[in-house]
């Protein structure tokens, strides 16, 4: 069985040996993997690690504040609000791969600026086993990243052999707050891949509001313990509804409430109908642009967890 109390001192020693007295940087998203990794590496090299939290404007309600509150005093932490930069490039883009490409490019630009400021020699990444097993099969555990400016960072991945449940055990052992350790995975491109069709500030706002309701109700009902991810997707389908005694024509929102062990496969569990109905009623009454809520019942495979 995996023993975090054994893993942690070994990992700290390895990171110390590897990075020595050089400066390192990590992109801290506030997800479990990068958070645990940041705290682990901080134990090894102290403030020589700078944790950069880039706000791309595609985060969920209250997320930026939550991440800042948890880490501001705990790490050599830097909050970068790049939301305008991202949204300017993403406005109106509707192709999922195009969205990901733009988000990846802007991220490199923002991150490179920060890495240069501190003269970082190492890049710490919270890669875990499913990340590389699913995508590439075998990649070397130690490799370099050449940034567009020519700057080369040595990549350090202290938790790359672990699975999510093991990372969570380490988070507990390191004293990270439960809301963070148990946080559901959230994709790097954020709400951009949960708004189907053209990305606009308005669509992001609608998706964010619906998502906040899903999270609130799922947590309040206690079924969050049985779910891997639970969120709302704003589709570009418009459907007729009736509000008061007026015809309305608004958006279709889809609820994605799924169970999984490691995101490679997933299934839609049976959940209390009262919870689903309440979410639907709240979204259609509190988000005026939405007239219809549907429940996704497709497993992975053949569907993927995210809609884009
Ligand atoms: P899919 O949709 O492929 O998702 O079944 C599997 C897991 O990966 C997350 N996901 C992403 N994470 N960048 C990320 O960092 C992405 O572009 C991305 N797409 C999907 C998804 O939330 C799920 O946990």
Distance 190 CA to ligand 1 centre (A): 9
Q: Which of 196, 306, 307, 308 to mutate to test the pocket of ligand 1 (most atoms within 8 A of CB)?
A: 306
Rounded mean pLDDT, 22-39: 97
Token digits of residue 21: 């007295």
The residue contributing the CA closest to ligand 1 atom 4 is 305
The candidate with the shortest Cα–Cα distance to 66, out of 176, 199, 219, 226, is 176
Q: How many residues does the chain have?
A: 308
Give residue limits of the domains in the chain: 4-181, 190-295
Please give the CATH topology (third level) of the domain spanning 4-181: Rossmann fold (3.40.50)
The candidate with the shortest Cα–Cα distance to 35, out of 105, 128, 141, 117, is 128
Ordered DSSP codes for 80-115: EE-HHHHHHHHTT---HHHHHHHHHHHHHHHHHHHH
C-alpha triplet 115, 120, 126: angle, nearest 5°:
80
Rounded mean pLDDT, 277-286: 98
Over residues 63-79, the pLDDT tens digits come to 999 999 999 999 999 99
**Where does the pLDDT of residue 133 fall: very low under 50, low under 70, confident under 90, or very high at 90 and above?**
confident
**Is the alpha carbon torsion for 97, 102, 108, 114 positive or negative?**
negative
Rg (C-alpha) for the chain, rounded Å, is 20
Whole-complex ipTM = 0.99
The candidate with the shortest Cα–Cα distance to 180, out of 28, 9, 2, is 28
C-alpha triplet 125, 129, 131: angle, nearest 5°:
70
Rounded mean pLDDT, 38-63: 98
CATH architecture of 190-295: 2-Layer Sandwich (3.30)
Over residues 169-187, the pLDDT tens digits come to 999 999 999 999 999 999 9
Answer yes or no: is the C-beta of 189 below 6 A from any ligand 1 atom.
Answer: yes
The residue contributing the CA closest to ligand 1 atom 22 is 187
């Amino acid at each position: 069985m995996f023993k975090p109390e054994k893993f942690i001192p070994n990992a700290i020693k390895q990171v110390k040996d590897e990075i020595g007295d050089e400066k390192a940087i990590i992109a801290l998203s506030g997800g479990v993997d990068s958070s645990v990794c940041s705290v682990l590496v901080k134990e090894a090299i102290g403030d020589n690690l700078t944790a950069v939290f880039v706000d791309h404007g595609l985060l969920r309600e209250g997320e930026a504040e939550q991440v800042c509150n948890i880490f501001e005093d705990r790490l050599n932490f830097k909050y970068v609000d790049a939301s305008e930069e991202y949204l300017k490039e993403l406005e109106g883009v509707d192709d999922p791969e195009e969205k990901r490409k733009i988000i990846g490019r802007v991220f490199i630009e923002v991150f490179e600026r920060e890495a240069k400021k501190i003269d970082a020699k190492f890049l710490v990444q919270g890669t875990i086993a499913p990340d590389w097993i699913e995508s590439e099969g075998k990649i070397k555990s130690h490799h370099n990243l050449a940034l567009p400016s020519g700057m080369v960072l040595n990549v350090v991945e202290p938790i790359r052999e672990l699975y999510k449940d093991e990372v969570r055990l380490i988070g507990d052992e390191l004293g990270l707050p439960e809301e963070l350790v148990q946080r559901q995975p959230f994709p790097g491109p954020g709400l951009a891949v949960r708004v189907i069709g053209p990305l606009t500030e308005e669509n992001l706002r609608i998706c964010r509001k619906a998502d906040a309701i899903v999270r609130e109700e799922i947590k309040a009902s206690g079924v969050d313990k049985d779910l891997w991810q639970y969120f709302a997707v704003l589709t570009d389908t418009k459907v007729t509804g009736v509000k008061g005694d007026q015809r309305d024509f608004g958006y279709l929102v889809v609820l994605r409430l799924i169970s999984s062990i490691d995101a490679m496969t997933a299934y839609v569990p049976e959940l209390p109908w009262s919870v689903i109905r309440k979410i639907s009623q709240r979204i259609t009454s509190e988000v005026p642009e939405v007239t219809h809520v549907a429940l996704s019942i497709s497993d992975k495979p053949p569907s993927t967890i995210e809609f884009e």
